[in-house]
Amino acid sequence: MIARYSLPEMSAVWDLQNKYRTWLKVEIAATKAWVELGKVPEEALKTIEEKTKDYIEGKKEFDINRINEIESVTNHDVIAFLTYIKEIVGDAAKYLHFGMTSSDMLDTAFAIQIKEAGEILLKDIDRILEAIKRRALEHKYTVMIGRTHGIHAEPITFGLKLAIWYEEMKRNRERLEAAIKRAAVGKISGAVGTYANIDPRVEEIACRELGIGHAKVSNQVVQRDRHAEFLNTLGLIASSIEQFATEIRHLQRTEVREVEEPFRKGQKGSSAMPHKRNPILSERLCGLARVVRSASIVGMENIALWHERDISHSSTERTSFVDACIALDYMLQKFEWLISNLTVYPENMMKNLNLLKGLVFSQRVLLTLIEKGGLTREEAYAIVQENAMKVWAEGVEFKELLKKDERVKKVLTDEEIEEIFDLSYHTKHVDYIFNRVFG
């Protein structure tokens, strides 16, 4: 992912230094397990740990150029790395990678990186949940028009809109937790997963040491449905952010202007038109959602590997996982800032609600005529629609038309008609809904 959309903490997870550090942690954890099982001398482990301690702690950096130089000969990145580590450790390095195949180390290390990345994303979501809840409570009774098909429907509140977003992000958090648990799984089972050259207990001990789960059964790789689920979950989360950002874009349109992205001092909206205040961040979030979603397709296509494994998944995972995690981290943090600082215009919401001269109360008129007038639904609907179409055509007040309609006057008094147009009718269950969502 380009630097423009990369934030430091997530980028560090996928940094080459951290990758090699994680590879080394896996190799040492496996060696510790062999020591525990009495197959490797403890002295050798001490030597390995002493000579690699600064690398594990990040005090020293791996010589990338040297590793690349070795790989230019071996044409194998894991062998190049192990050869480089032998240059640091000396003879004790012969106990590293003992009985293991490359994917034992690669997939187990990958699981650790997935867990680290996932935990950052969970923190991001937690901050978004806090921000949405805060704004929802602030605008619990900020009345606005609800829209279906882009057309005015009935009154809602902005707080209710945000409560829906809150619940959606809660579901996304639950999905992500489950996906991390299934994807953050290592395997140290040897060449085709039979443990022929490695004790199964090494896998259990090492993965426990590394803080991840282990596959109950695997072939030469951890099965890729786990990774596809993780990427699909990232795609779902990105799609939720896109949905919220799309709504903000619609509500910021000049003709609507019910909310607006913050416009900072010195900010410019257009190189040509000085008056412009564009929803650029929301548009950026919508665009990046496409990048994150694209990774989910790659993840699903990586499931079908040949026999016990091939490496058609390897090249794609080096980019798709990195880009998806970094892009979503950026999206989540930017959306949290956006929702926290979003400008809301209640007066415009009320102005827009009244644009249709009271037509948004048509359903209550319909139901009241049925309830009090003994009319069939078809009869009541015809009366209400006839008057509603006059409002569309002539721009007159819906309420005044109803008061003049003899069919309505036979059923409802002017006072009863006035009562129908009371906004509080549409907000009477807001507390109940908020209690269900926020407790």
**Counting Cβ atoms within 10 Å, is residue 96 exposed (0-12), middle (13-18) or buried (19+)?**
buried
Backbone CA torsion sign across 157, 365, 420, 358: positive
Q: What are phi and psi of 306, to 5 degrees?
A: -75, 130
- Measured CA to CA in angstroms, residue 137 lies from 24, 41, 68, 205 at distances of 48, 62, 55, 48
Mode of pairing for the β-strands spanning 213-214 and 143-148: unpaired
Catalytic residue among 72, 149, 275, 307: 149
User: Does 149 participate in catalysis according to the annotation?
Assistant: yes
Q: Phi and psi for 218 in degrees, rounded to 5?
A: -150, 170
d(CA 114, CA 179): 10
Sorted by sequence, the CB contacts under 8 Å of residue 376 that are 6+ apart come out as: 370
**Alpha carbons 97 and 27: distance in angstroms, whole number:** 6
Supply the DSSP symbol for 150: T
User: What residues does 143 pair with on adjacent strands?
Assistant: 157
> Per the residue annotation, which of 270, 312, 424, 429 is the catalytic one?
270
Q: Please identify every residue annotated as catalytic.
A: 149, 270
